Structure 1
Amino acid sequence: MKPLRIGIVVESTGLDVRPALVAAARMGAQGIQVDALRDLAPDGLGATGRREFRNLLRSFDLELAALNVPLRRGLDVAEDLQPRLERVRKSMQLAFDLGARRIVVACPKLPDDPATPRANLMRESLAALGTYGDRIGCVVALEVGYDPSEKVKAYLAGFDTGSLKVTYDPANFLLHGHDPLANLMPLAGLLAHVHARDARSAGLSRGLQEVPVGAGDTDWMAFTATLQVLEYDGFLVVEREQGEDKLNDVINGVTFLKRFALPV
């Protein structure tokens, strides 16, 4: 078994990209996930800029774990869908050029009725992106969690492409009422990217809330051991969406996960 590679989500630090790379290197992270926006927007980063960013990563001994593509509307929404798909395709090319070869895109809740217009739209969108990914060599790592993993596995099995895979976030599964450990194993062969994010009960009236990695209901020893059994070879990136001191939470998260990075 290989050691797990630990990374961070740049946006979770609250820093701009270059200071975030400095912070990542200092905390001992090995890679980053960053949004395909602003300085790293596909349309604004030409061949020279892409080469310079690769060199910048190398100078900090970091890799690009994945490129995240935030979308205001999902891949199951008809309004402005074609420009949205084109933006995703451009981000896929950018991810390939920067060495990540994987993008993260939010996966809507899977349709129960495959005959509805939303279901058809979502299937057409994913088929188009999967075909493009096969052609250029870039994976679309769908961030799941709304649905149990068996349903996700069965849904993705209906596509004739090898480029539609999964971004796994245990907090997503917790927040939607699913066991994050039990839902990991069924996705063997589909895991392209993993977020290290945690959640726990905040009381009967408030339900679950996101907390720093290691402070929630995820059994990280069992979770990381399962990743190693599955021979997962991607990154485990620390993410923090809430909190008053997210940078410190990310630093502590990297330190915490390093305890489990080596094979047992």
Structure 2
Amino acid sequence: MRLAICSWSLQATSPADLVEKVRATGIPRVQLRLDDVAEDPAWADAPAALREGGVELVSGMMQTRGEDYSTLDTIRVTGGLLPDEHWEHNRDTAARVADLAAGLGLPSVSLHAGFLPHDAADAADHPLTRRTGAVADLFADRGLDLLLETGQEDAATLDRFLDAADRPNLFLNFDPANMILYGMGDPLAALRTLLPRVKQAHAKDAVPAAEPGTWGTEVPVGEGAVDWAAFLEILRGGGYDGELILEREAGDARVDDLRAGAAELRPLMRPA
């Protein structure tokens, strides 16, 4: 396992700023948000700038249009591939992102598909199942994996959904903090269940919500409820040898928090 950084964690204002902040973390590997690169001319040179700056690109990420994370209720309605008003745009963006990722030689792209159907009988013919399958096919046509990020559902629901979508290139980006933030169960138990489907893992931490139906709180790695020693041991036991990608989506000291998270994880990543 090697450490990497989520590019969006650094809140960079330009490709040059992103390179500078990545260097400041001391971790020269990045999962790069690709929808901005594909659609915003100001970010078109980001992959070249990173590589010229000695930063390795390990995978991509795509964010869908219209997501509103204000509350659990708003993201349930607006998240991922489900909103009809954004489906055509998101499908077309996925095709551009897949072309870009293939051109960059990346193995995979992750995204939040949205709140998955919790009823097993409903999953096979649910619009989100069909749309996720269609996007996975776009990536398969370019030789890429599509990784769904965990968190908005429990492990059993996600397992059933992947069976219903039934695509050989559809896997998981496992984020333990998201399960805590959404109140979707023990991330260690979920990882054991889902491990055969995990192709990438995020290192993000959180504490549970004080009241049901509200957000948990994201905190720097090492300050939350994730048992990182146990988390890494489960990954190792399953033969996982991909990146462990640090993500920070809150706070005003992102570089410092990522550096501290890396310091927390590095001793635990060494084989016993």
The TM tier, using the shorter chain, reads 0.7 to 0.9
Q: What amino acid is the match of 1:96?
A: A
State the SS of the aligned residue for 1:8.
Answer: strand
**What residue in structure 2 maps to residue 189 of structure 1?**
196
Query: How far is the alpha carbon of 1:221 from its aligned partner?
Result: 0.8
Q: What amino acid is the match of 2:117?
A: P
The structure with higher relative contact order (CA 8 Å, sep 6+) is 1
State the SS of the aligned residue for 2:189.
Answer: coil
**What residue in structure 2 maps to residue 125 of structure 1?**
131
Q: Is the 8 A contact 2:110 2:146 kept in 1?
A: yes
**What residue in structure 2 maps to residue 144 of structure 1?**
150
In the alignment, structure 2 segments of 5+ residues that lack a partner are: 67-77
State the SS of the aligned residue for 1:80.
Answer: helix
Query: What is the distance in 2 between the residues matched to 1:238 and 1:223?
Result: 14
Q: Is the 8 A contact 1:214 1:253 kept in 2?
A: yes
Alpha-carbon displacement from aligned partner over 1:91-141 (angstroms, at most 9, x marks no partner): 122112212221111122211346769963212211212222222111111
Q: Is the 8 A contact 2:94 2:138 kept in 1?
A: no
Inter-CA distance 207–70: structure 2 relative to 1 (3 Å threshold): closer
Q: Is the 8 A contact 2:25 2:256 kept in 1?
A: no
**What residue in structure 2 maps to residue 179 of structure 1?**
186
1:263 equivalent among 237, 251, 271: 271
Alignment of 1:228-239 (within 5 A): 228-239=236-247
Query: What is the distance in 1 between the residues matched to 2:125 and 2:111?
Result: 17
**What residue in structure 2 maps to residue 12 of structure 1?**
9
Query: How far is the alpha carbon of 1:259 from its aligned partner?
Result: 1.6
2:167 equivalent among 153, 157, 161: 161
Query: How far is the alpha carbon of 1:204 from its aligned partner?
Result: 5.9
Q: Is the 8 A contact 2:206 2:218 kept in 1?
A: yes
| Equivalent pairs, count | 256
State the SS of the aligned residue for 1:182.
Answer: helix
| 2:64 pairs with 1:67 | no
Percent identical across equivalent pairs?
27
Query: How far is the alpha carbon of 1:242 from its aligned partner?
Result: 0.9
Query: What is the distance in 2 between the residues matched to 1:149 and 1:252?
Result: 29
Query: What is the distance in 2 between the residues matched to 1:255 and 1:119?
Result: 45
**What residue in structure 2 maps to residue 41 of structure 1?**
38
TM-score scaled by length of structure 2: 0.83
Query: What is the distance in 1 between the residues matched to 2:192 and 2:53?
Result: 34
Query: What is the distance in 2 between the residues matched to 1:137 and 1:97?
Result: 11
Inter-CA distance 217–82: structure 2 relative to 1 (3 Å threshold): same
Query: What is the distance in 2 between the residues matched to 1:136 and 1:195?
Result: 24
Query: What is the distance in 1 between the residues matched to 2:121 and 2:24?
Result: 51
In the alignment, structure 1 segments of 5+ residues that lack a partner are: none
Query: What is the distance in 1 between the residues matched to 2:171 and 2:203?
Result: 18
TM-score scaled by length of structure 1: 0.85
Query: What is the distance in 1 between the residues matched to 2:258 and 2:209?
Result: 21
Deviates more, 1:159-168 or 1:56-65: 56-65
**What residue in structure 2 maps to residue 221 of structure 1?**
229
Alpha-carbon displacement from aligned partner over 1:232-253 (angstroms, at most 9, x marks no partner): 2322111111112122111211
